[in-house]
Amino acid sequence: MLSTIKIFYKENRIWMYLLKYITISIIIAIMAILIDTKFFEVLNILPDILLTSVDLAKLILSTLAGSLLTITTFTFSTIMVVLTMYSSNFSPRVVNNFLTDKITMKVLGVFIGGFFYCILTLFFMRNIYSEYLVVSATIAVIYSAFCIVYFVMFVFRVSSSIQATKLIGRLYEESLEIVENTLKERKTKENITYSEMTKFSNKLEIPSNQNGYLELISFTDILFNLKNLESSLIVNFNIGDFISENEIIATLYYSGDIKKDALKANLEKNFSIEGERIEYNDYRYSIQKIVDITLRAISPGINDPNTAIHCINILGVLLSKLGKIEGSYNIIKEDSSKTRIIYEDFDFKEDLYFTFYQIAHYGKK
């Protein structure tokens, strides 16, 4: 369940950040409106330097609203330019790395949230008597200072992001984290050979209900559904593999009687298939991004051998960690369950071929 939530967050984190900052801005606007309308008796305890007249507040808020909308448009245009450069100079697969960068997401959320704040406080300020002193403009000025800080951070991040070595470094850190998590999981699992798998006479095939990439297998839920059944579930695909509709994802070998249709429907739900690959626990996809940059660097249009050499060195470091554990069939089971899940990890030889065969092929030309 936790892994499903993480994947959902990673797929929608752009909207999450936008909604987060817009919500915060709306809450601040509501508090400011309640204070200005004297719903809360706070104005009396605030220093006079923090209060402004209604006319001055309207001028400040309207000016900031227009400025924030303009700078939001400029920021969006800058993001589009960087995305175009990423797609043409590096790889279309690394576009999402810049788009989902925290600074990129935050700066848009902060600017849009500030615009909402200014518009909301202006809208409700029409009901406030002109002789009142209000705090909305002061809050807007403080908010604009935060916007400037985030904009400066965004400019520095853009200047850093367009450098190939910086991008490769971030991709390396991302890949290294995924590889290390994969290695930790491998070390905690029991290994078997293929000949030990099929000791049960009955079998049930679990088909895919859609086309897409296998992104998550809920092993805990599978073991819970099969806890009273003596069986072995063999998973036929790895994380990141493309699966066609009605293709057999897994095969259940069991003994005894079961309700096949109901069990099949429950097991199908435990395999998460998405239209796009994500690098949450798919180390091959994260490595593929570095491979793509290498291929683009050695292409005649770019012709940047130093970047290609740097990428190959990074790939060598990542693969050296994967080579420490031999590929095998891993057993996932619980003491309270009579079933076991047999899941094949990638073999190091396959990883080596998958990583370098395109580089070797196109590098010869």
CATH no. for residue 338? 3.90.1170.30
Contact 288, 93 (CB under 8 A): yes
Say whether both 49 and 137 belong to one domain.
yes
Residue 36 counted as domain residue: yes
- What six digits make up the tokens of 341? 């899940």
Domain carrying residue 124: 2-162
Residue 169 counted as domain residue: no
Say whether both 17 and 156 belong to one domain.
yes
Q: Tell me, what's the pLDDT at 68?
A: 92
End position of a domain, from candidates 132, 162, 192 = 162
End position of a domain, from candidates 118, 136, 162 = 162
Residue 98 counted as domain residue: yes
Say whether both 286 and 242 belong to one domain.
yes
Say whether both 100 and 196 belong to one domain.
no
Contact 83, 290 (CB under 8 A): no
Residue 168 counted as domain residue: no
Residue 265 counted as domain residue: yes
The sheet with strand 202-207 has its strands ordered as 190-192, 329-333, 339-344, 231-235, 248-254, 202-207
End position of a domain, from candidates 135, 162, 189 = 162
CB contact set of 46 (below 8 Å; sequence gap of 6+): 135
Nearest to 232 by CA among 338, 339, 336: 339
Distances (CA, A) of 306 to 212, 302, 303, 311: 36, 11, 9, 9
Say whether both 302 and 220 belong to one domain.
yes
Residue 357 counted as domain residue: yes
Q: Tens place of pLDDT for every residue, the chain, 365 residues?
A: 556 666 666 667 778 888 888 999 999 999 988 888 777 777 777 787 888 888 888 899 999 999 999 999 999 899 999 888 888 888 888 888 888 888 888 898 999 999 999 999 988 886 556 677 888 899 999 999 999 999 999 999 898 888 888 889 999 998 998 888 888 877 766 666 554 555 677 888 888 888 999 888 888 888 888 888 888 888 888 888 899 988 999 988 888 777 888 888 888 888 888 888 887 778 888 899 999 999 998 888 778 889 899 999 999 999 888 877 666 677 887 777 778 888 877 778 888 888 999 888 887 76
As for how many domains the chain has, the answer is 2
Say whether both 230 and 344 belong to one domain.
yes
Residue 167 counted as domain residue: no
Say whether both 224 and 275 belong to one domain.
yes
Distances (CA, A) of 105 to 18, 101, 145, 346: 7, 6, 18, 34
User: Half-sphere exposure of 250 toward its Cβ, with a 13 Å CA cutoff?
Assistant: 31
Residue 156 counted as domain residue: yes
Distances (CA, A) of 365 to 165, 270, 296, 354: 25, 45, 13, 19
Say whether both 216 and 353 belong to one domain.
yes
Say whether both 230 and 251 belong to one domain.
yes
Say whether both 140 and 234 belong to one domain.
no
